[in-house]
Chain A
Amino acid sequence: MSQELIISGSPHIHTRDSVDRRMWNVVIALLPALAVALWVFGLSALWITLLAVGACMATEWIIERYCFRRPCTLTNGSAIITGLLLAFNLPNILPWWMVIIGAVVAIGIGKMSFGGLGCNIWNPALVGRVFLLLSFPAAMTTWDPAVSSGLMQAVHTGASGVDAETGATLLATLKNSGHAIDMSRVDWLTLGIGDMNGSLGEVGSLAILIGLVWMLITRVITWHIPVAVLGSAALLSWATGANPGLELLAGGLMLGAVFMATDYVTSPMTHWGQIIYGVLIGVLTIIIRRWGAYPEGVSFAILLGNSVTPLINKYCRPRRFGMRKIRKEVAA
């Protein structure tokens, strides 16, 4: 027996789960969507992704090292996730320096200015994306004309007065044409696989769903947030006369619901809170898409959802054991 015995409070055993395991499983879950991005956009997607991930990791390392003077936290994978998600939210022809600005804002302002992992209020990747969208609106909504599949051709020719050569996304086309496109021309399989224009990671809806299944199997997340976001968005778009399938598959809603709304730090703690939060995001997304100025509203909806998370946490608390009985007895 060793001379010194370790003394600590109970419990003395610990689950094999860890922050690292969870974060790396999210990275794995992001890989199918990355593969689709490479297939649709080619090497430019890889370039943007590497740039964003590298810039995020470098920013985090510099701030940890020279501002916080803390041990390096890069191995937990959270900076890589932020970099991947930021890249997934950018067009493949964005200038390289804009990508770096986005990454520095995402990590520097979105995450480290609050104190690093676990302290931020908003999803860092979305802070970076919205910063870029508001600063460089033109660059952020200019899509690669080289990417225009049969699906886009069909829809674009269907929508009168829209030029297929600008390479607009499906949702932008929808918005510009006043939701008057010929639905019979939409090829759902192509839409699901993601052979169309858009941000890097948002196009491959089926790939994102594979990632969702992986995260559910490895118990990284529960079903509550994705189902609440997608369900409420589908319901509201159906109620307002739009095609729910198109709303779910054609834009960033799938990516947002599965990977960004589910960010632990910025989403509520209890399952009921998560459902309220998810419904809020789904409803806001459709409202922005239908009546707002932007064709796409997921980023804003999630950031607004993040903002009310502390409030949701305050009111959606778990039911305490033995409390209902007391109330009953007091009433009786």
Chain B
Amino acid sequence: MKTFTFRKGGIHPPQCKNTAEMPITPAPQAPLLTLLLSQSIGAPSKPVVKPGDKVAAGQPIAEPGGFVGAWVHSPCAGTVKKIETVRTPQGYPAEALTIERDPQSTEVFSYPPMNPADASSEDLVARVREAGIVGLGGATFPTSVKLTPPKGMTPRCVILNGAECEPYLTCDDRLMREHAPEIAEGAFCLMRAVGVRHCYIGIEDNKPEAIAAMREAASQYSGMEVCVLRAKYPQGGEKQLIAAILGREVPSGALPVSVGAVVDNVATAFAVQQAVVLGKPLTGRVLTITGEGALNPGNYYVELGTPLTSLLQTDERVDKIIGGGPMMGRAMSNLDTPTTKGLSGVLTMCLGSMPDIQPCIRCGACYSACPMGLEPMLLARQSENSDWEYAARSGVMDCIECGSCAYTCPSNRRLLDWIRYSKTQVRKLKS
């Protein structure tokens, strides 16, 4: 069987998909939900309700702050308590709406269901927008914006990202195993919305059950095909996925649609299906709780805004908690923070101590690992020397921050930290 992959670089971290056999279960419902107003890339959303208002489950409570922005909906019926400033997982202040659940109320708000086969492209995109759907792989880019390509660019296919190359995370795997028909229908909605006839579903070969389930579901639609990918990190990186499936490289600094591809996560496709066919806005997601310090590992369907303290039980030794996977996730400074649309997993780690940083021995491991063909050691050194112009010329902005370089470095140098710093400085220099 042919397996697809990208050509240059990549690493093979231990997979640690310990929760792969645990079915998705609904997480306990919290009495108080805190919904951040900036859960996606772009302008923060603006509240359309006031404290004291009664809301139904699924009712829109905040509108997009701009073209690149997203609606936010209440996951439960209840009362808007207050609009206040809370701390994000990284400790920064952010505006949030607090909703107190009303267990008696069964009021549900939903949009009129649509039939994707005869709905127009504009209607489908509008529905994706009003349902507040953003990229659920972690980037949280508003999906409706992705579905409206810039003028002069014609998409030729939709690619569904089911690679889930991050170690530990299993939420997409479980979703594909348990909800394959819905995902395929969501993919069909996306194909209709973009106006293309082909859809490729990329899944790494370490998920045979998901591949089988998606194959069967995809066979119901013409032009939809499952592509088996070789398990290699960062196979689920947008550019790597396109290179693996289409054999084309997205040019430096360009959008994926410039090679004709619109890439969406399988979880996003599921949310699109729910919004289009059932009229349900995005009010929850599947996330994986995992890691050696988690007492309740598993895959959970979680309402947005559920506080992590009520979701996660950890043991004594945990000294690092990560939102997302171990390669690209972000360390959290506190747990008094709610789940968001972009949170695909909570990883608990018991590190004890950090290994020493040693001098670079110029072994070239980072060169071989970089999937973008960059020179991480050189970029890091330019960053240490504050040579931003040289860094820009060396392609620092092409870095996808996958972390393969820092993972593979035998001297344990924090290459990606330096490169990230360099990117912010180059961005400043350009503006």
Binding site for B on A (CB under 8 A): 1-2, 4-15, 17-19, 21-22, 76, 116-119, 264-265, 267-271, 317-326, 329
Cα–Cα, bound, A324→B412 (Å): 32
B416 engages A10 (CB within 8 Å):
yes
- How far is A271 from B414 in the complex, measured between Cα atoms in Å? 23
Q: Quick one: which of A11, A19, A321 contacts B398, CB cutoff 8 A?
A: A321
Instruction: Assess the A264–B250 pair: CB atoms within 8 A.
Output: no
Q: Chain B, 308-349, contact with A by CB distance < 8 Å: what is the 0/1 string?
A: 000000111111111000111111111000000000000101
Q: C-beta contact mask, B411-431 vs A, less than 8 Å → 1, else 0?
A: 110101100100000000000
Other-chain residue from B252, B359, B373 in contact with A318 (beta carbon distance below 8 A): B373
B410 near A19 with CB under 8 A, answer yes
Question: In the complex the two chains form, what is the Cα distance from A325 to B352 in whole Å?
Answer: 46
Contacts of B375 in A (CB 8 A): 269, 317-318
Within 8 A of A (CB), among B365-406: 365, 367-368, 370-375, 377, 395, 398, 401, 403, 406
B355 at the interface (CB under 8 A from A): yes
6 pairs, A vs B, C-beta closer than 8 Å = A5-B333, A10-B406, A11-B406, A13-B167, A13-B327, A119-B359
7 closest A-B pairs by beta carbon, nearest first, are A11-B403, A118-B359, A269-B364, A320-B373, A264-B363, A6-B320, A321-B372
**Within the complex, what minimum Cβ distance (angstroms) separates A64 from chain B?**
12
Residue of B nearest to A325 (CB): B251
The reply to whether B398 and A322 contact each other, CB–CB distance below 8 Å, is yes
Interface centre among A6, A10, A320, A323, by most B CB within 10 Å? A10
On chain B, the residues within 8 Å of A119 by CB distance are 359
Q: A10-B403, A326-B252 are in contact. Are A318 and B317 (CB under 8 A)?
A: no
Q: Is the CB of B322 within 8 A of A118?
A: no
Q: Are B330 and A322 within 8 A (Cβ)?
A: no
Most A-side CB within 10 Å, residue of B11, B315, B328, B373:
B373
Q: A9-B414, A322-B250 are in contact. Are A2 and B318 (CB under 8 A)?
A: yes
Query: A322: which of B254, B365, B403, B414 is its contact (CB, 8 Å)?
Result: B254
The answer for the CA separation of A62 and B376 in the assembled complex, in Å, is 33
* A319 adjacent to B8 (CB under 8 Å): yes
- Residues of chain A with a CB closer than 8 A to B365's CB: 17
Most central of A22, A268, A317, A321 by chain B CB within 10 Å: A321
Q: How far is the CB of A330 from the nearest CB of chain B, in Å? A: 10
With most chain B CB atoms within 10 A of its CB, the pick from A5, A117, A326 is A5
Q: Does B362 contact A (CB under 8 A)?
A: yes
Taken together as a complex, chains A and B put the C-alpha atoms of A11 and B166 apart, in Å, by 11
Q: For A17, give its contact among B373, B401, B410 (CB under 8 Å).
A: B410
Minimum CB–CB distance for A48 against chain B, Å: 27
Please measure, in the bound complex, the distance between the C-alpha atom of A265 and the C-alpha atom of B319, giving whole angstroms: 36
B318 A1 Cβ-Cβ under 8 A: yes
Give the nearest-CB partner of B370 in chain A. Answer: A318
- Residues A14 and B412 in contact, CB atoms below 8 Å apart: yes
Residue in chain A with minimal CB distance to B406: A11
Residue on A nearest B329 in the bound complex, by CB: A10
A269 to B328, CA, bound (A): 26
The distance in angstroms between the C-alpha atoms of A4 and B351, with both chains bound, is 12
Contact residues in B for A270 (Cβ distance below 8 Å): 364, 367
How long is the Cα–Cα vector from A76 to B356 in the complex, in angstroms? 12
Q: Is B367 touching A19 in the complex (CB atoms < 8 A)? A: no
With contacts A117-B361, A318-B8, A321-B372 taken as known, whether A14 is within 8 angstroms of B332 at the C-beta atoms is no
Q: B334 — which chain A residues lie within 8 A by C-beta? A: 5
Write out the residue numbers on chain A whose beta carbons fall within 8 Å of the beta carbon of B377: 269
Q: A15-B11, A76-B358 are in contact. List 19 more A-B contacts (CB 8 A).
A: A1-B315, A2-B319, A6-B351, A7-B333, A8-B331, A10-B331, A10-B416, A12-B322, A13-B167, A14-B412, A19-B411, A117-B359, A264-B363, A269-B362, A317-B375, A318-B367, A320-B374, A321-B373, A322-B251
Query: Can you name the residue of chain B whose Cβ is closest to the Cβ of A221?
Result: B363
Residue interface mask B226-251, A partner, CB < 8 A = 1: 00000000000001000100001111
- Which of B329, B373, B407 has a CB less than 8 Å from the CB of A15? B407
Shortest B219–chain A CB gap in Å is: 33
Q: Is the CB of B410 within 8 A of A22?
A: yes
- Judge if B108 is at the interface, Cβ distance under 8 Å: no
Q: Are A5 and B331 in contact (CB under 8 A)?
A: yes
Q: B94 near A: Cβ within 8 Å?
A: no
A248 vs B375: C-alpha distance when bound (angstroms): 34
**A321 and B371 contact, CB distance less than 8 A:** yes
Interface residues of B in 278-311 (CB under 8 A from A): 293
- Assuming the A-B contacts A319-B373, A321-B239, A321-B398, are A9 and B417 also in contact, with contact meaning beta carbons closer than 8 angstroms in the complex? yes
CB of A24, distance to nearest CB on chain B (Å): 12
The reply to whether the CB of B153 lies closer than 8 angstroms to some CB of chain A is no
Of A4, A15, A118, A326, which is within 8 A of B360 by CB?
Answer: A118
A265–B371 Cα distance when bound, in Å, is: 23
Is A264's CB under 8 angstroms from B361's CB?
yes
Residues of chain B contacted by A268 (CB below 8 angstroms):
364
State whether B249 touches A12 (Cβ < 8 A).
no
Contact present for A320 and B395 (CB under 8 Å): yes
Cβ-defined contact, A265 with B361, below 8 A = yes
Chain B residue with Cβ nearest A9? B417
A18 to B411, CA, bound (A): 6
Contact partners of B249 in chain A: CB under 8 A? 321-322, 324-325
> Which residues on the B side are within 8 Å of A9 (C-beta)?
331, 414, 416-417, 420
Contacts of B351 in A (CB 8 A): 6
Question: Is the Cβ of B252 less than 8 Å from the Cβ of A323?
Answer: yes
Q: Is B408 an interface residue (CB 8 A)?
A: yes
User: Which A residues touch B358, using CB under 8 A?
Assistant: 18-19, 76, 117
In the complex, A322 Cα to B8 Cα: how many Å? 11
Known contacts A9-B417, A320-B395: A18-B412 contact under CB 8 Å: yes
Determine the distance from Cα of A319 to Cα of B368 in the docked complex, in whole angstroms.
11
Q: Is the CB of B407 within 8 A of A320?
A: no
- CB pair B329–A12 under 8 Å, yes or no, is yes
B195 within 8 Å of A (CB atoms):
no
In the complex formed, the residue of A with least CB distance to B243 is A321
Contact residues in B for A116 (Cβ distance below 8 Å): 359
A22:B8 contact, CB within 8 angstroms: no
Q: In the complex the two chains form, is B314's CB within 8 Å of A14's CB?
A: no
- Taking CB atoms, residues of chain B closer than 8 Å to A265 are 361-362
CB distance B360 to A6 under 8 Å?
A: no
The answer to whether A19 and B13 have CB atoms under 8 Å apart is no
Of B11, B331, B371, B408, the residue contacting A12 (CB under 8 A) is B331
Q: Is the CB of B318 within 8 A of A12?
A: no
Closest residue to B420 on the A side, CB-wise? A9
Inside 8 A of A11's CB, which chain B residues have their CB? 326-328, 403, 406-407, 416
A267 to B239, CA, bound (A): 31
Which residues on A sit within 8 Å (CB–CB) of B363?
A: 22, 264
Are A13 and B8 touching (Cβ within 8 A)?
Answer: no
Chain B: CB-nearest residue to A329: B251
